[in-house]
Chain A
Amino acid sequence: GNSVTQMEGPVTLSEEAFLTINCTYTATGYPSLFWYVQYPGEGLQLLLKATKADDKGSNKGFEATYRKETTSFHLEKGSVQVSDSAVYFCALSVKGQGAQKLVFGQGTRLTINP
């Protein structure tokens, strides 16, 4: 079946630290891969995506590379800020009955201290 496994949280870092949140997936076919972010009290926002192997998605200093050989899509940022504190969700898309479905990981809560 299709599933996404994320790094267990919570993760706490100091400002300007390097961030990695691991994500691995199991899927039939060739899914698209996503990172969504949820700030406190809000819904999910698309952070970045990649649609095929070796694609790199990037946004707001975050990046992730679609690695088919390791079935991974790890999220990285070189220097985090307090404003990056949020919950991060890795997801893959699969075609359902007439519409695509997103399968989410459990989420990783990130806290950045000043």
Chain B
Amino acid sequence: ETGVTQTPRHLVMGMTNKKSLKCEQHLGHNAMYWYKQSAKKPLELMFVYSLEERVENNSVPSRFSPECPNSSHLFLHLHTLQPEDSALYLCASSQEGLTSDTQYFGPGTRLTVL
């Protein structure tokens, strides 16, 4: 596979469930990102990892817990979510340190919290 992949593509969970979203990038990049896309709101940056270290956490509730075990993989662990957390969750990657600062996005995971 090429580019940025995300699994699952769709997820329905109850408020008491625990689930994880997975992102994998095949581009050799060293930075990865989680975004939340809700209806009628701009994309919200949630977390940034650079060289496998979290460098940004934009006041995201603790029910979202990211993990970056290596430069190619990024997870978002979910627990005790609320219905308002239903959204499209997008992963992206980029290569830091180059003049080109383009982020490449995965297809997203459509999350529905019941």
- Of B12-20, B48-56, B59-67, the one contacting chain A is B48-56
| Complex contact A44–B48 (CB within 8 A) | no
Chain B interface residue bracket vs A: 20 to 34
Given A96-B48, A98-B55, also A43-B101 (CB < 8 A): no
- A70-112: CB near B (< 8 Å → 1, else 0) gives 0000000000000000000100010011111110111100000
Name the residue on B nearest A107 (C-beta).
Answer: B42
- For the A-B complex, the count of residue pairs with Cβ-Cβ distances under 8 Å equals 63
Name the residue on A nearest B9 (C-beta).
Answer: A41
Partner pick for B105 among A45, A51, A96, A106, CB 8 A cutoff:
A45
| Complex contact B96–A99 (CB within 8 A) | yes
| Complex contact A98–B50 (CB within 8 A) | yes
Secondary structure at chain A's binding surface: helix, strand, loop or mixed?
strand
| Complex contact B96–A32 (CB within 8 A) | no
Partner pick for B42 among A34, A97, A104, CB 8 A cutoff:
A104
Residues of chain A lying within 8 A (CB to CB) of residue B21: none
Q: What distance in Å separates the Cβ of A94 from its nearest Cβ neighbour in chain B?
A: 10
**Alpha-carbon separation in the docked complex, A84 to B53 (Å):** 38
A11-43 residues with Cβ-Cβ distance < 8 A to B are 32, 34, 36, 41-43
Q: What distance in Å separates the Cβ of B64 from its nearest Cβ neighbour in chain A?
A: 18
| Complex contact A89–B43 (CB within 8 A) | yes
Residues of chain B lying within 8 A (CB to CB) of residue A102: 43, 45, 103
**Alpha-carbon separation in the docked complex, A102 to B94 (Å):** 11
**Alpha-carbon separation in the docked complex, A99 to B30 (Å):** 10
| Complex contact A106–B94 (CB within 8 A) | no
**Alpha-carbon separation in the docked complex, A41 to B109 (Å):** 10
Residues of chain B lying within 8 A (CB to CB) of residue A42: 107-108
| A-B pairs with beta carbons under 8 Å apart, 12 shown | A32-B101, A36-B105, A41-B107, A43-B6, A46-B103, A51-B100, A96-B55, A98-B53, A99-B96, A101-B45, A101-B48, A104-B42
